[in-house]
Structure 1
Amino acid sequence: MTKIIFKLLGVALIATIGGAYYVWQQAIQVPEEYSKANTDEKIDSQSLPLQPSQITERAAVTKQKISAPIERARSGQKVNVKLSDRDLNNLVVAKLATSQQNKQIPLGIKGIKTNIKDGKIYTGAMVNLDKLTHDGQPGSQTAALAKLTDKLTFLKGRDVYIGVVGKPTLTGDRIEFASDTQIKVGNMNFTIAQLAENLGVSAEKLQQTIDLQLQQQNLKVNRIDIRNNGLEIEGSKK
């Protein structure tokens, strides 16, 4: 996710620098779904910083909810897995931490929230560019971003919302976000295809970056659905 944050800001801001004021207005906005999630007690805000052990423990609880019904089933037997928005948030936090050498969330990222409503998954966080770039090593992505923020001074010291909005879908036996998923920078929206073209990378690579990581080798997934603000996975044990 950190890689996509750096590339997203480069494309979204540099490519539209001619309309800097409009970009500034849109980039600093906090989407309504995130603001509402902040005040909704049922949403686990995952207050940061969390220790690696806390992140691992929370992810383990969610992974157990996925694996337990599979383990109880016989081969070919129907399996139902139900996950809440908190469960999905645990997986998002764990994936982001796993991508870091210290297995922690970078200090520049806070308030990771996942909300399920209207048949879509909304997940994102507030990102402080100054804190992300502070410890960047020469030649690193964070160092490159520091040069960008030197030019786009309106981002200095600000928390910018970075998020993903989309529906889970089945591609073969794999659960992933649908191709019309939107990646948000503040109130600016980009599809996976648009970003892939602008970043010069494959759509598949971007898809992997936001992968829900719900795959289970011993489960054949037949259907996924969002009901009652939760994600339901139906399949059969292999």
Structure 2
Amino acid sequence: MTTASEPLLSVRGLRVVLGGRHILHGVDLDVAPAGVTALLGRNGAGKTTTVRGVLGLVPRTGSVRFAGTETVRLATHDLVRRGIGYAPEDRGVFAGLTVAENLRLAERPGAGTPDYPLVHELFPELKARARQSAGTLSGGQQQMVAIARTLLNGNRLIIADEPTKGLAPRVVTEVALVLERAARAVPVLLVEQNLALVRRLADSCVVLADGRTAHRGPAADLLADTGATRRLLGVGSNSPAHEEADA
């Protein structure tokens, strides 16, 4: 059980070796029990691998404490049951199914009654489009479905991996509103390269470099320091800083 002053997620010395190659060399990060924590870094810094390590999707060592309990030896399905929701980079929406069917597939047996009232309160558009094929939705609307699925089962943390990657600026604005609404209900770990979005949403940030933690602190402080953003991210603090891929 965490208190208001303790991190909901605390990662220490996270290491990942894949195919004999050391991807993560000791990542440290904390996610507060409220608001948005941004995970930043240049292309190949190890952000997606860090998320996969937290979720147990790759072999890892170190410490991953969630809600006060060590979870590094737990399987992914056990972590999901403990309340971690994941919105993957590609959104994972089933294009041939309706919005309602996509949400229904996310209902987790044993998690209690799915919280459709919360989903429809935050995203009334999904209720109005329940019978619409998800493949006909805009990128922003599909991201809405992806985030909504993580809210159905009473999750305590949402991990959103590159939710604006490849989206037009107008759609990025839609996604920002989606994440803003979601973060009012559940804390979010946001993997992102759009610094304007980070500035708008994030309270704190963690920056990775070469598979290690290079910076931790308030997001506003980092983004106010042009020299630091150029040194750590290779861009000015006013750049959207989209990247094409990550290790």
Structure with higher RCO (Cα < 8 A, 6+ apart): 2
TM over 0.5: no
Q: TM-score, normalised by structure 1?
A: 0.31
Greater Rg over alpha carbons, structure: 1
Q: TM-score, normalised by structure 2?
A: 0.30
